[in-house]
């Protein structure tokens, strides 16, 4: 008899863990060997059991999913991690893959997709939920069509970039261009998503690299 795929579940919602444990264990070739409610516990259980596949959420209190991935991959670069998250956008997928995960599906995905994803990841194959894979491809194509990534931005977003890198706060930006601080925050989130950046330091570095500001 073929050895079942061993799985570690890491998610801070007990109902989610219980439901998916039952689903996975009802599949003959899968066995959940442990489950954890957070990243710190999940890392300890991973060290203890060394499962074939780790399924984890990203948004957890304490040690988050990204940090958990980093800890595991730093210890074993061959670890096979499948992200299972509500945070299903291109930026989150990029960050998870960059951290070392090889699979990403959303919590809106169907039961069959979860099973298929676990099997693919257990073989070391990258698996991205179909809708997210399409979004990734479209995002990559858009970026390839622009030499300067800032060309992806609207005039308003680019205006806000210049003010941010000049050192203006959200309140100061709002005052200068006559919009509310909340609207500035919305534009900021949108432009950071388009540029695939995580923080203002990265934005400033990118602006220097593309001569938006002097270094």
State pLDDT tens for residues 159-206. Answer: 999 999 888 999 999 999 999 999 999 999 989 888 888 888 888 888
Number of neighbouring beta carbons within 10 Å of residue 113: 15
102, 81 in Cβ contact below 8 A?
yes
Task: Calculate mean pLDDT across residues 49-59.
Answer: 95
More confident residue, 211 or 84: 84
Residue 11's pLDDT band (boundaries 50, 70, 90)? very high
What is the rounded average pLDDT for all residues in the chain?
87
215 or 94, which is more confident: 94
- Of the pLDDT bands very low, low, confident and very high (cuts 50, 70, 90), residue 136 is low
Query: Would residue 211 be called left, alpha or beta, if left means φ above 0 and alpha means ψ between -120 and 50 degrees?
Result: left
pLDDT at 202: 86
Q: What gap in Å lies between CA 46 and CA 34, rounded to an integer?
A: 8
Average pLDDT over residues 153-164: 90
The kind and range of the H/E element at 190 are helix 181-195
Could you tell me the pLDDT band of residue 150, with boundaries at 50, 70 and 90?
Answer: confident
Please tell me what DSSP assigns to residue 35.
Answer: E
Is 12 or 212 the better-scoring residue by pLDDT? Answer: 12
Q: What is the CA radius of gyration of the chain?
A: 20
The two tokens of residue 111 are 């039961």
Least confident of 1-10, 72-81, 82-91: 82-91
Sheet bearing 30-36, strands edge to edge: 30-36, 5-10, 53-56, 81-85, 103-106, 127-128
C-alpha 215/C-alpha 213 separation (Å) is 6
Per-residue pLDDT, averaged over 99-126, amounts to 91
The pLDDT value recorded for residue 134 is 67
The answer to whether residue 1 scores a pLDDT higher than 90 is no
Helix residue spans in 50-169 (DSSP H):
65-75, 90-99, 111-122, 130-144, 155-165
> Which pLDDT does position 215 carry in this prediction?
45
pLDDT score, position 117? 94
């Amino acid at each position: 008899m073929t050895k079942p795929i061993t799985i570690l579940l890491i998610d801070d919602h007990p109902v989610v863990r219980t439901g998916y444990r039952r689903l996975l264990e009802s599949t003959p070739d899968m066995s959940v060997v442990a489950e954890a409610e957070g990243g710190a516990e999940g890392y300890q259980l991973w060290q203890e059991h060394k499962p074939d596949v780790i399924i984890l959420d990203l948004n957890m209190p304490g040690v988050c999913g990204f940090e958990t991935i980093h800890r595991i991959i730093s210890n074993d670069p061959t670890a096979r991690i499948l992200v299972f998250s509500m945070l299903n956008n291109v930026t989150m997928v990029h960050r998870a893959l960059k951290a070392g995960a090889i699979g990403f599906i959303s919590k809106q995905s169907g039961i069959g997709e979860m099973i298929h994803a676990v099997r693919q990841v257990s073989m070391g194959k990258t698996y991205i939920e179909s809708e997210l894979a399409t979004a990734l491809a479209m995002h990559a194509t858009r970026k390839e069509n622009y030499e300067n990534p800032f060309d992806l931005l609207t005039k308003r977003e680019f205006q806000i970039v210049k003010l941010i890198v000049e050192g203006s706060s959200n309140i100061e930006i709002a005052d200068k261009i006559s919009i509310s601080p909340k609207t500035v925050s919305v534009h900021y989130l949108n432009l950071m998503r388009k540029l695939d950046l995580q923080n203002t330091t990265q934005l400033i570095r990118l602006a220097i690299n593309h001569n938006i500001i002097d270094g």
